[in-house]
Amino acid sequence: MEAQGERLLQDLVTQEKSLVAKVEEARKQASEIVTEAQEEARRILEGAREKAETLARKEADQGAKEAETAREDIVHSAQETAARLEAQARAGKDEAVALVMERVLP
């Protein structure tokens, strides 16, 4: 009976050591999984940051191009208006000089 008790005790000790080893292995694997997940998350965030920066630069460039186009349109329109007003002023000046000349020199 004593030998049987000793054997059971040895079996329990062996099982306990086996369980402790399995727990340690599980902890090690869990730690590795967490480390890998953190690294993957870092890579994903870095990729997202790079995409966001690229998109922001692209949008800023597009905005600058649109602003330049709008500025050019405004300048062109202003130049056309100035040319038209200048032509009207010249035409009005010629008429005014002719009218003055008619009144001054009958």
Kindly report the length of the chain.
Answer: 106
> Is residue 101, in this structure, part of any structural domain at all?
no
Query: Within 13 Å of residue 73, how many CA atoms lie on the same side as its CB?
Result: 6
Q: What is the pLDDT of residues 41-85, one digit of tens each?
A: 999 999 999 999 999 999 999 999 999 999 999 999 999 999 999
> Is residue 100, in this structure, part of any structural domain at all?
no
> Is residue 92, in this structure, part of any structural domain at all?
no
Share of the chain above pLDDT 90, in %: 70
Domain that holds residue 11: 1-77
**105 pLDDT above the threshold of 80:** no
Encode 24-60: b = buried (16+ Cβ within 10 Å), e = exposed.
eeeeeeeeeeeeeeeeeeeeeeeeeeeeeeeeeeeee
Q: Domains in the chain: how many in total?
A: 1
The model carries a pTM of 0.54
Q: How far apart are CA 30 and CA 81, in angstroms?
A: 75
Q: What is the pLDDT of residues 91-101, one digit of tens each?
A: 888 888 888 88
Residue with more model confidence, 26 or 6? 26
> Is residue 97, in this structure, part of any structural domain at all?
no
> Is residue 56, in this structure, part of any structural domain at all?
yes
> Is residue 99, in this structure, part of any structural domain at all?
no
Residue with more model confidence, 104 or 76? 76
Distance of CA 79 to the CA centre of its chain: 38
